[in-house]
Amino acid sequence: MQNDHEEPVGSAPGAGAGRRARAVMVLGTSSGAGKSWLATALCRWYARQGLRVAPFKAQNMSNNARVVAAAGADAPAGEIGSAQYFQALAARAVPDVRMNPLLLKPERDTHSQVVLMGRVDAALGATPWRGRSARVWPVVAAALDALMHDNDVVVIEGAGSPAEINLSDVDIVNMRVAEHAAAACLLVTDIDRGGAFAHLYGTWALLPPAQRGLLRGFVLNKFRGDAALLDPGPRLLQQRTGVPTVATLPMWREHGLPEEDGMFDERAVTAAGEVRLRVAVVAFPHISNLDEFAPLRNVPGLSLHWVRTPSQIDGWGARDWIILPGSKSTSADLAWLRRQGMDRAVAAHAQRGAPVLGICAGLQMLGEAMIDPHGIDGNGPGLGLLPLVTTFAQDKTVVQTRASFGTVRGVWQPLSGLEVRGYEIHHGHSAEHPAMAAAGRHGHPVMASGLAWQDDSGNVLGVYLHGLFEDGAVMQALFGVYTPTLDAVFDGLADHAERHFDAGVLASLLR
């Protein structure tokens, strides 16, 4: 819906075949200020004006990734950060690797796997941080230029802060991108943290004058209370900087968009109604794809917990679930699980006949052993709850998958025969352990190609597919409910932005 006070934006410069798009960029005073949230809202808002829209983030650091189409028709699928995947859906665009050309997936505190244009680049991963920008910038610029050529509007998300002056000489994600795209920039800050006006002014002051000229508005995010109390802050800030405050966005925790970095609240999250089911997701140090559990927050009567110690699941009953999620470093996180004593807690839960679900790396951990002939992740024993052996392969599997469950037993029985959609991001494959099978203990494949397995009792299930809880049919089968669609979430974000931005601002960013 177009704001009654907005001018039509369908004829904005950049609209039309063969013409360069206009770029709108969301910068932040810090990580967590609300860049991803706002960029997603703008993608949907501009798409609702009848414009062809694409998101872009030059470099993202996150272990939350999605499988998307490659830039070329004959190229294999690749990975981008989950935030840009959701932004593409909000823009009603097909997600592709150009939207996030560089993805850094942390493997430990001092090293990340480098994914360039959707594929792992080991040589780039071995290159020192400051030596990467010269090699990567041409790829980043080409991806942005291609999106600018194919669309009317490109909504760009920055990273961290544009005023990180220690990194400005190797910047490839903030002001260098803004200048390349001649972007109209918004600077958003988290007012709930305090010091918002200082954060905005300090960021502006540290930018060179030419870059300050790209700032078209300040945005106060996560505001609680009476907006009249902000006076005269915005007016004084504009007097000092020449930049108006164009929006004050109220705090809104229930917007439904998964967090960009998969950040979680360690407090339990319980949807409406009496608690009937507790679900614990083990929060490994290198947990990945945490955002896929966001739909569980909306299941009535379900209490979602992030756990790191056995005491957090003491006294849990035979109906409650434990989930071992994905991991960027399976062997390291399994070692952490043992140091915490969580291995014994998970085993005891399974021995009581209670449900245990392993997803991707979680499936691998549930097996008897992991074999690593290529030095990918490490050899070692698993938890022994599924009679499987995992062999890590040199090449990573990155693919969107549609498959059907076979006959599934136990609490998972409602999944039987269900066709599901998801995505795979993993090294290697898992198969029945030959010695254990010979001794009479078998793994039961419940999906083709070894994508899902159960134990003899049926309470332990392991699957390679990510995204099961984002499949409406799975949610209906397991919980008898449909959670809000992502499309409804995107419309809600756009409505929220439209209500709280000054009239005419969003359209004016395209002029």
Q: What positions carry a catalytic annotation?
A: 360, 466
Question: Which amino acid does the sequence have at 182?
Answer: A
Q: In this structure, are residues 98 and 147 in contact, taking their beta carbons and an 8 Å threshold?
A: yes
Q: In this structure, are residues 172 and 59 in contact, taking their beta carbons and an 8 Å threshold?
A: yes
Q: Sign of torsion, CA 266 89 495 296?
A: negative
Q: In this structure, are residues 247 and 220 in contact, taking their beta carbons and an 8 Å threshold?
A: yes
CB atoms inside a 10 Å sphere around CB 450 = 16
Q: Where are the beta strands (DSSP E) in 34-120?
A: 53-56, 59-61, 65-68, 78-81, 102-108, 111-116, 119-120
Extract the tokens encoding 79: 């990975």
Q: Sign of torsion, CA 246 250 254 260?
A: positive
Q: Sign of torsion, CA 189 214 497 164?
A: negative
246 sits in which H/E element: strand 245-250
First to last CA, the chain: 20
Question: Which amino acid does the sequence have at 261?
Answer: D
Extract the tokens encoding 423: 């995505």
Q: Using alpha carbons, list the distances in angstroms from residue 117 to 104, 147, 175.
A: 11, 14, 21
Tell me the C-alpha distance between 298 and 416, whole Å: 23
Tell me the C-alpha distance between 169 and 176, whole Å: 10
Paired strand residues for 425: 398
Q: Sign of torsion, CA 106 108 110 112?
A: negative
Paired strand residues for 281: 306, 323
Asked if omega into 258 is within 30° of 0 (cis), the reply is: no
Give Cα 100 distance to the centre of its chain.
Answer: 12
Q: In this structure, are residues 453 and 387 in contact, taking their beta carbons and an 8 Å threshold?
A: no
Buried b / exposed e along 289-300 (16+ C-beta atoms within 10 A): bbbbbbbbbbbb
Name the one residue in this structure whose structure tokens are 């229930």. Answer: 254
Q: Using alpha carbons, list the distances in angstroms from residue 300 to 59, 218, 303, 500.
A: 37, 38, 9, 30
